[in-house]
Amino acid sequence: MNFLRGFTVSLLAASFTFAEVAPATQPTTAPAAAQNAVAPKKYPNVGELLAMKKAEQEAAQAKAQVAMFEFSSPLVEKPADFSWFGTDAAPTLRSVILRLHRARDDGSLKAVFLNFRIGATVTLAQAMDLQQAVKEIRESGKRVYVYADSFDTGLYLVASAASDICMLEGGELMMPGVGLETMFYKGAMDKVGITPDFVQIGEYKGAEEPYTRTAPSDELRGELNKLVASLFGLTVDNLAATRGLSRDTIRNAIDQMLLPGPVAKERGLVDHLVDQDGLRALMEGHLENDVHFIENYGVGNKEAIDFSNVFSLLKAMNKKSEPTRGPTVALIYAQGTIVDGTGEGSLFDAGGVGSETMREAFRTAAGDDNVKAIVIRIDSPGGSALASEVMWQAARRLAKEKPVIISIGGMAASGGYYLASAGDYIFADPAAIIGSIGVVGGKFVLKDLYDKLGLTTEEFSKGANAGLYSTSKVWDEKQRSLVRKSMALVYDQFTDRVMTTRAGKIADIDQVARGRIFLAPEAKSLGMVDELGGLERAIAHAASKASLESDKYEILTLPAPKTLADLIEGSRTELASPVRVNVQLSAESILLALPPSARKHVAQQMQFMRLLEKRAVVLMTPFSIQMR
Q: How far is CA 370 from CA 77, 329, 414, 540, 546, in A?
A: 25, 8, 33, 17, 11
Residue 45's identity, in one-letter code, is N
Nearest CA to 92 out of 129, 43, 45 is that of 129
Strands 178-181 and 624-627: antiparallel
Report whether pLDDT(148) > 80: yes
Best-predicted range by mean pLDDT (29-43, 247-261, 598-612): 247-261
User: How far is residue 65's CA from residue 295's CA, in Å, rounded to a whole number?
Assistant: 11
In sequence order, the 6+-apart residues with CB closer than 8 A to the CB of 580 are: 346, 574
Other residues' Cβ atoms within 10 Å of the Cβ of residue 30: 12
From 196-205, 294-303, 313-322, the region with the lowest mean pLDDT: 313-322
Q: How far is CA 176 from CA 152, 253, 254, 259, in A?
A: 8, 9, 6, 11
User: How far is residue 66's CA from residue 284's CA, in Å, rounded to a whole number?
Assistant: 10
Task: Work out the pLDDT band at 601, boundaries 50, 70, 90.
Answer: low
For 528, the 3-state DSSP assignment is coil
Cβ contact 270:239 at 8 Å: no
User: How far is residue 349's CA from residue 603's CA, in Å, rounded to a whole number?
Assistant: 12
Determine what percent of the chain falls in helix, strand and coil, rounding each to the nearest 5. 45, 20, 35
Q: What is the pLDDT of residue 575?
A: 41
With residue 619 as reference, give the H or E element that holds it.
strand 617-620
Cβ contact 432:408 at 8 Å: yes
User: How far is residue 106's CA from residue 435's CA, in Å, rounded to a whole number?
Assistant: 40
Angle between helices 93-105 and 535-545 (to 10 degrees): 80
Nearest CA to 321 out of 88, 40, 57 is that of 88
Calculate the CA 60 to chain-centre distance. 35
Cβ contact 602:379 at 8 Å: no
Residue 74's identity, in one-letter code, is P
Average pLDDT over residues 300-315: 58
Neighbour-count burial for 167-183, b at 16+ CB within 10 Å, e otherwise: bbeebbbbbebbebebe
Strands 371-380 and 328-335: parallel
| Sequence ranges of the domains in the chain | 63-176+257-294, 323-457+468-627
Say if residue 15 is exposed, middle or buried (CB neighbours under 10 Å; 0-12, 13-18, 19+). exposed
Q: How far is CA 543 from CA 78, 321, 529, in A?
A: 20, 22, 19
CA geometry: angle at 479 spanning 475 and 483, to 5°? 105
Strand-pair partners of 560? none
Report whether pLDDT(121) > 80: yes
Give the architecture (CATH level 2) of 323-457+468-627: Alpha-Beta Complex (3.90)
Q: What is the pLDDT of residue 89?
A: 57
For 389, the 3-state DSSP assignment is helix
What's the farthest any 2 CA atoms get from each other in the chain?
Answer: 122
Report whether pLDDT(495) > 80: yes
* % of residues, the chain, pLDDT over 90: 62
pLDDT digits (tens, 9 = 90+) for 185-215: 899 999 999 999 999 999 998 888 989 999 9
User: How far is residue 210's CA from residue 208's CA, in Å, rounded to a whole number?
Assistant: 6
Q: What is the pLDDT of residue 565?
A: 58
For 199, the 3-state DSSP assignment is strand
Task: Work out the pLDDT band at 315, boundaries 50, 70, 90.
Answer: low
Q: Considering the chain, what is the average pLDDT of its residues?
A: 84
Which numeric CATH code is attached to 63-176+257-294?
3.90.226.10
* % of residues, the chain, pLDDT over 70: 77
Cβ contact 384:355 at 8 Å: yes
From 5-9, 172-176, 498-502, the region with the lowest mean pLDDT: 5-9
Kindly report the pTM of this predicted structure: 0.83
pLDDT digits (tens, 9 = 90+) for 362-377: 999 999 999 999 999 9
pLDDT digits (tens, 9 = 90+) for 510-545: 999 999 999 999 999 999 999 999 999 999 999 999
pLDDT digits (tens, 9 = 90+) for 62-73: 899 999 999 999
Cβ contact 621:436 at 8 Å: yes
